[in-house]
Amino acid sequence: MSPDPAPCRVAIIGDNFMLPSMFERALRAACGERVDLRSLTLPWPDEPMEHGYARVGMDGLKEYQGDPDEIVRFVDDAEVLVTQLAPVSAAMLDRMPALKLIAVSRGGPVNIDMAAARARGVRVVNTPGRNASAVAEFAIGAILAETRLIRSGHEALRAGEWRGDLYRADRTGRELSEMTVGVVGYGQIGTRVVRLLKAFGCRILVADPYVQLTAADRADGVEHVHLEDLLSRADVVTLHARVTPETTGFIGRHQFAAMKEGAIFVNTARGPLVDYDALYHALAEGHLGGAMLETFAVEPVPADWPLLQLPNVTLTPHIAGASVKTITIAAEAAAEEVRRHIDGEPPLNPC
């Protein structure tokens, strides 16, 4: 009778959001005692991420956190690395020859040099859609904060002012049931936003040139339209597109000018999709009624950023995807990829 194979050595590098303990629990549930686990905790989000362009030898990487030498020492002879933010550059891979699999618990492995990993035969997997439910739910809250004047009322009371005038017919908010909402991007988040919006009885427009509506959405009266049509008709525009060379800055001066006067703009997707200078002018000049911004081209935003000074903008610090459910989904998805690696099965989400 042959002895049981040695357990797979797995290095877990978590942080204060993706807790190592959550990874450990998921890995034990998926793999039992077939994994030898070691864990390290990075200080994110209490300390900011870095960007590859700012450090020699880390070009090709975008958002990451962790000192390369410390990461290499910790991973050591591990066959698998499970992480959200730890960087893996070409030079680092050369110092981790035992590594065969990197499971990144985020939608895009921007902290990994993918070309270098492919060249060295290291498979990289990710966890797409881990926060889709959280972001969709947050987007609905963002829309309501603007349409029902929740931000305006809150800020006034904080300043000691009772805004009874918000009950005036010419100033009060509007119900979603009487509005048209345009959803730009029909991926995992956009489809969930559409599903949630139906409960409010609003007219729903979708713009995404690369997908078709589901049969259920078509039956419910959701319209698939060109972006220009959506912008001209929607009372609320909510952004859920991916960042690609095609979509970078694709909502700019012309797009804001095409929107209805008094319309509301919501971005819970990514900052680089939007020309924020153009948005500032559209808001400051009164063409748009308001905006809710959750993501930014530069994070953290500068303290003197002009959009921070406008009274018709709600801002949050990129927290739409942060939920306990997101952590659980990501940890379980990463653990399943490790189990499949151990059992010789193909990955579910190869990058």
Residue 253, domain CATH = 3.40.50.720
Which range marks the domain in which residue 240 is found?
A: 132-315
Domain co-membership, 237 together with 221: yes
- The CA distance from 255 to 86, in Å, is 37
Q: Is residue 347 part of a domain?
A: no
Residue 230 corresponds to which tokens in the numbers above? 């959506």
Asked if residue 175 and residue 50 are part of one domain, the reply reads no
Counting every residue written for the chain, the total comes to: 351
Q: What is the pLDDT along the chain (351 residues), one digit of tens a residue?
A: 556 789 999 999 999 999 999 999 999 999 999 999 999 999 999 999 998 877 888 988 988 999 999 999 999 999 999 999 999 999 999 999 999 999 999 988 999 999 999 999 999 999 999 999 999 999 999 999 999 999 999 999 999 999 999 999 988 999 999 999 999 999 999 999 999 999 999 999 999 999 999 999 999 999 999 999 999 999 999 999 998 999 999 999 999 999 999 999 999 999 999 999 999 999 999 999 999 999 998 888 999 999 999 999 999 999 999 999 999 999 999 999 999 999 999 999 999
Check whether residue 62 and residue 192 sit in a common domain: no
164-209 pLDDT tens trace: 999 999 889 999 999 999 999 999 999 999 999 999 999 999 999 9
State whether 163 and 228 are in the same domain.
Answer: yes
Residue 348 lies in a domain: no
Assess whether 126 and 137 both reside in one domain.
no
In contact, 51 and 272? CB cutoff 8 Å: no
Whether 349 is covered by a domain: the verdict is no
Determine which one of 175, 228, 246, 299 is catalytic: 299
Are residue 167 and residue 271 in the same domain, yes or no? yes
Annotated active-site residue in 318, 336, 337, 339 = 318
Structure tokens at 291: 């905006």
Same domain, 259 and 197: yes
Same-domain pairing of 102 and 154: no
**Residue in 240, 270, 339, 341 annotated catalytic:** 270
Does 150 lie in the same domain as 101? no
Q: What is the pLDDT of residues 105-128, one digit of tens each?
A: 998 899 999 999 999 999 999 999
**Judgement on whether residues 297 and 254 belong to the same structural domain of the protein:** yes
pLDDT of residue 4: 75
Same domain? 333 vs 304? no
CB atoms within 10 A of CB 223: 17
Sheet holding 290-293, edge to edge: 223-224, 203-207, 180-184, 236-239, 264-267, 290-293, 313-315
Is 103 among the domain residues?
Answer: yes
Q: What are phi and psi of 342, to 5 degrees?
A: -65, -40
Residue 51 annotated among the catalytic residues of the structure: no
Would you say the C-alpha torsion 135, 139, 145, 146 has a positive or negative sign? positive
Q: What is the model's pTM?
A: 0.90
- Annotated active-site residue 299? The verdict is yes
51 plus 151 within the same structural domain: no
- Rounded CA-CA distance 258/220 in Å is 27
Question: Is 63 tagged catalytic?
Answer: no
pLDDT of residue 3: 65
Q: How many domains does the chain contain in total?
A: 2
Structure-token pair, residue 117 = 């990993």
pLDDT of residue 62: 87
